[in-house]
Structure 1
Amino acid sequence: MRVGLAQMDLVWENKEENIKKAEQMIIDAVKKQIDYLLFPEMSLTGFSMNVNVIGEKKDKSETLEVFSEFGKRYNVFIGIGYVEKRKEKAYNRYAIINPNGEVLIDYAKIHPFSYGEEGIYYTGGSKIEKADIKGVQTVPFICYDLRFPEVFQIASKDSCFITIAANWPKQRREHWITLLKARAIENQCYIAGVNRVGIGNGLEYSGDSMIISPYGEILSKNIEGEGIISADIDVTFALSYRNDFCLKKDRKEQLYLQLFHRPV
């Protein structure tokens, strides 16, 4: 499967302009024979806390309707981020849409970024979601989730491909790069991190979108500017590597649980 990452300069809280940009990127991706194209977190708005303005009802989501149509029109899998507006706190969501326009999964970000006040306006999800894309078991996470390795260990038990859609600021870019590589190495899986570029609400974003092999090698990377990168995901290679170097069999999860609950 060929995966593409759409590194965008998101226009702040302007869905119409971002939809136009995204459609052109989808067209470009199809020309490059990309099977699955991923967009950054909160793909049409940037990392906004203005839930009342950008939020959408899940059963009447403009974002899902538009990109379901794009999936059908261009015969491509799409990963897209949006905000679900609720009576209480909102959900920061990431959906995977297939070429029939069907929403395969609609993941809610487990870890709101409390340092950036996301926890004031958003609540965390409680499920790891997965989907089969052209024979590749895929799990999506969102931005701050990257800092919590436990969920990656759970996801990688039956998945060799994990994605992270982000709005990750330039000032912490070394964390982004290092953590992406670490998650690939410790889980022996492909990792794809798609980040935005440009300025959003006064913050600068460096991009650094990349696809990393189970060895921790960067297969493709976009350092700055808008554009699409791509790489092929080979499940057979990942599984062969896991069989040769059986890292997971040496994990002691029951002991970890005991240690976690034991007073220090």
Structure 2
Amino acid sequence: MKIGLVQNNILWENKQFNLNSSKEYFKKAKTLNIDLLLFPELSFTGFTMNTKMFQESDSYTIHYMSNLCKTYDINVGIGYIQQCTGEKAKNKYTIISKSGDILCNYTKIHPFSYSNEDKYYISGNEIVWCNINNIILSPFICYDLRFPEVFQIASKKADLITIAANWPCSRSAQWISLLKARAIENQCYITGVNRIGIGNNITYSGNSMIINPLGEIIAYGEDGTDDIIVGDIRKDFIIEVQNSFKFKQDRREELYYQLNNKINS
């Protein structure tokens, strides 16, 4: 499966402009024969805490992108803000099929408390999966990358784990190291799609990448470059790597659970 990562400059809190601009990436992706096109976290607003203004109850962004998926015959992953009951919203990442149907709909499990995201967004409680071209994928969002436990669960089924982010360039070295670690630990493909430019006075450098199950970077977005980063996800290579070094079968999950309960008791 050919995958494309949209490393773009999200115009801060200008939702309609960013939605309109997304058409150009679909057009380019079509010429590149991309099967799945992935946009960064909160793809059309940037990493905003202005949930009251941008939260959706009518799935406007989903409908808009579904039409583009059908027009260009491409599957897509996009982030947006969903309204929910109460004062807080949901930071969502949704995979939409080329026929315009929702394949999976993920809520960020770990809001970024360091920037007070948890005061505006509720925490998700589910890992989701979907199947595109016989590749099972599971989406996560940004800060989730720092929590390896959820990746271990996801990789029990997933061939590909995607991370959509607004990850600042001041911590880009950690971004790269964590992405590679998650690929090695889970023996699956990892993609990290990150924005560029400046949003809310924070600078983003991109560094989007596709990493294979050995932890090797097979496609990379240069710092600050607006582009689609393209690479192939190979099911046969995943199987080859997992069969050649079966270290995951030596995990002692029952023991880890017991040790965790013991230390917290």
1: distance between equivalents of 2:250 and 2:85?
45
Helix, strand or coil for the counterpart of 1:158? coil
Secondary structure of residue in 1 paired with 2:263: coil
Please tell me the root mean square deviation across aligned C-alpha atoms, in Å: 0.8
In the alignment, the residues of structure 2 paired with residue 175 and residue 247 of structure 1 have an alpha-carbon distance, to the nearest angstrom, of: 25
CA deviations 1:201-256 (Å, max 9, x no partner) are 01000100000010111000002221101100001111121011001101000000
Counterpart position of 1:81? 79
Q: Which runs of 5+ in 2 are unaligned?
A: none
Task: Quote the Cα distance in structure 2 between the aligned partners of 1:218 and 1:111.
Answer: 26
Q: Where in structure 2 are the equivalents of 1:1-264 lying within 5 Å?
A: 1-57=1-57, 60-88=58-86, 89-223=88-222, 224-263=224-263
Counterpart Cα distance in 1 of 2:74 and 2:25 = 12
Distance 1:257 1:239 in 2: 28
Give, in whole Å, the separation in 2 of the partners of 1:144 and 1:40: 13
Alignment partners' CA distance in 1, 2:85 and 2:124 = 15
Runs of 4+ off more than 2 Å: none
How far apart are 1:20 and its partner, in Å?
2.0
Report the Cα offset of residue 153 of structure 1.
0.3
Kindly state the Cα deviation for residue 2 of structure 1 after the two structures are TM-superposed. 0.2
In 2, the alpha carbon distance for the partners of 1:231 and 1:225 equals 17
Q: C-alpha distance in 1, partners of 2:160/2:169? A: 25
1:81 alignment partner AA: G
- SS for the counterpart of 1:262 is helix
Separation in structure 2 between the aligned mates of residue 7 and residue 30 of structure 1, nearest angstrom = 16
Q: CA deviation at 1:187?
A: 0.4
Distance 2:85 2:123 in 1: 15
1: CA distance between counterparts of 2:134 and 2:99?
Answer: 16
- For structure 1, the 5+ residue unaligned runs are none
Q: CA offsets per residue over residues 6-40 of structure 1, 9 Å max, x none?
A: 01100011111101221101110110010000000
Q: Distance in 1 between matches of 2:140 and 2:235?
A: 19
Mapped to 1, the partners of 2:263 and 2:204 lie a distance apart of: 40
Q: Residues of 2 paired with 1:42 and 1:106: CA distance?
A: 14
Amino acid at match of 2:75: F
Distance 1:166 1:197 in 2: 10
1:111-140 CA deviation, whole Å, 9 max, x = no partner?
Answer: 000001100000110000000011100000
In structure 1, distance between residues paired with 2:133 and 2:165: 24
* Counterpart residue identity of residue 23, structure 1: K
Please report how far the alpha carbon of residue 87 of structure 1 lies from its aligned counterpart in structure 2 after TM superposition.
3.1
